[in-house]
Amino acid sequence: MHRPDGISFTYDGGYALVGSESTPQIAVIDTSTHALVDTIMVSSPPTSIATSPIGTYAYATTRYDNSVSVLDVESMSVVDTIPVGWEPWDVVLSPDGQMVYVSNRGDRSVSVIDASTNSVIHTIANFATEPYGLDISPDGSYLYVAGGSSGAVHVIDTTSNTVVGNLGMSPHWSDYTWDVAITREGDFLYVANSNDEPDGNALQVFCIDTSNNLIAATIAMPDTDGDGYPAWDPLALAICPQRVEVYPPEPIPFYFSVKEDVLSFANDDIVVSDGTDFALFFDGSDVGLADLAIDALAVVSEREILMSFSSAGAIPGIAETVEPADLVKFTATRLRPRTAGSFELYFDGSDVGLSGENVDAVELLEDGRLLLSATSRIS
């Protein structure tokens, strides 16, 4: 990919979506292997990407045709195109995933998109200068807009879709506010600021206390080339999503198979749930299990799954027929949608006298032994 620009991660963290400033494509990178696994073609170079917090779709600004491409993150394909303002720059979603906000540099506006209909329902227009980077408060109440050559940050009330504040960063007319990023708790807003002038006075990041909208700290950019001036302009920001322990603790993932096709899952799939939501973890049809139903299973590592099947059948990569009393190990190179990897026979039931039994539960103990149950009497 030439000149990568803009990155977002799928909800589960499994993939990174990377845009480009010069080519009409989005690179899909498996974050566990750091390998390029797919390329999504769009209508023009995508320079900003945002993924829905509910995990279904991603949105990419395609700057040169004044639109936003909607991507299905399971099929990794474009499923819709939304016309917006002139030269869209940045995109961000509300915390509940219901609204999509797009800054349009060319006509100095922000488009508000209803994610349920993929249509623009409001346009916030008449900014004095071109809007650039966007971010939204954790409760979704306020949208922060970097004001470009105004050297300011605009504050938008998302209920009324009106500008309710303008935060001035510097008295220098040549200062540019390029991007904004708010902390997870919403207490501080960081603003990337640069200057056209050679004195470098405005090559810095401002930290704003959102309780009073005043600058709490200023972070100067370093002089990395030794000429007495900052070596680069701060153009983009990101906040590290620091993990905070909460009570009750986060639920432990629960993995299971289904006997019939339910919840849009098939009986050759493995489903993961946190007690509230369900997601595809292993897609058997991607790896040749379309005619076999998974019975017992154990996820023994991030990339390894033990499984048995309710009937005998052929498994890709295993020479002999796999019986219901056997266990197979799947080693994944990719999980969730677009599952990929290899199978091997892990436990041959006939070696320990199992014949006709059906292994319906399995656990791998810490010492390497297997704990099994079966539907028939074992003698």
Q: pLDDT in tens for each of the 379 residues of the chain?
A: 667 878 898 887 889 999 988 889 999 999 888 899 999 999 999 989 999 987 789 999 998 999 999 999 989 999 999 999 999 999 999 999 999 999 999 999 999 999 999 999 999 998 988 999 999 999 999 999 998 888 889 999 999 999 998 887 655 444 778 889 998 888 889 888 876 555 544 567 888 888 888 888 877 766 555 555 544 455 567 666 554 433 344 456 677 777 665 567 888 899 888 767 788 889 999 999 977 999 999 999 888 999 999 999 999 999 999 999 999 999 998 887 788 899 999 999 999 988 888 999 999 988 889 999 888 754 4
Same domain, 159 and 41: yes
Same domain, 200 and 291: no
- 232: its two tokens: 């680069």
- 98: its two tokens: 């219901």
Domain limits at 279? 254-374
Same domain, 186 and 273: no
Q: CA-CA distance, 37 to 317, in Å (whole number)?
A: 22
- 16: its two tokens: 């990174």
> Final residue of a domain: which of 176, 194, 220?
220
Cα angle for residues 318, 322, 326 (degrees, 5° grid): 115
Q: CA-CA distance, 163 to 351, in Å (whole number)?
A: 73
If one counts every other C-beta atom within 10 angstroms of the C-beta of residue 285, the result is 12
Adjacent-strand bridge partners of 124? 110
Cα atoms in the Cβ-side hemisphere of radius 13 Å centred on 118:
17
Predicted TM-score (pTM) of the model is 0.63
Residues in the chain: 379
- Within a domain: 237: no
First to last CA, the chain: 61
Query: Helix H segments across the chain?
Result: none
Same domain, 302 and 356: yes
Q: CA-CA distance, 140 to 134, in Å (whole number)?
A: 13
Total number of domains in the chain: 2
Cα atoms in the Cβ-side hemisphere of radius 13 Å centred on 363:
5
